[in-house]
Amino acid sequence: MTTAAGIVVIRNINNHPEFLGLIALKKDRKRVGGTYDIPKGQVELGENLLEAAKRECFEESGLNPKIISDSYSNGKITVWLGIVEEEDEVIIERNPASGLLEHEGYDWVIPEVMRRNCLSYLLDHIRWAEKRAWEYFKL
């Protein structure tokens, strides 16, 4: 059963996608392997999955991406593909509920880099998003 929802965020750079890679905390990188996370989190009472994904994306990155895909789920995490403008600013702040910093920063990376360096449990989600991104750009 899905307990978390998120958005794989991309932007268009000359008809090529760049993925938003949130740099996971060192303890998470060490525990699960990989560097890059995506904006995601737990579904709160009264929220549907997409509402939770959008809220988490805004809380963790300051972005409100346009959803450009159906959803993908591995049974635990459901994600959508979302796109932002090149000039949209990523803002990494402390979690509003816990006051804790959830990511060390971010990078915009090409799909291959995201795939090779995502947190291990996100690999299927990233592969799915990469395919959808290339379809979106029709390349």
**CA distance linking residue 115 with residue 91, whole number of Å:** 23
Residue 98 is predicted with a pLDDT of 87
- pLDDT tens sequence across 78-125: 999 999 999 999 999 998 888 889 999 999 999 999 999 999 999 999
| Domain segments of the chain as ranges | 4-137
Cα torsion angle, 7, 8, 13, 15, sign = negative
The token duo for 52 is 């939770």
**Residues 67-82, mean pLDDT to the nearest whole number:** 97
What CATH code is assigned to 4-137? 3.90.79.10
Residue 139 is predicted with a pLDDT of 57
**Residues 33-49, mean pLDDT to the nearest whole number:** 96
Residue 8 is predicted with a pLDDT of 98
Residue 90 is predicted with a pLDDT of 98
Q: Which residues of 75-114 are buried (b: 16+ CB within 10 A; e: fewer)?
A: eebbbbbbbbeeebebeeeeeeeeeeebbeebbbbebebb
The token duo for 14 is 């000359």
Residue 124 is predicted with a pLDDT of 98
Query: Looking at the predicted structure, is the pLDDT value of residue 127 above 70?
Result: yes
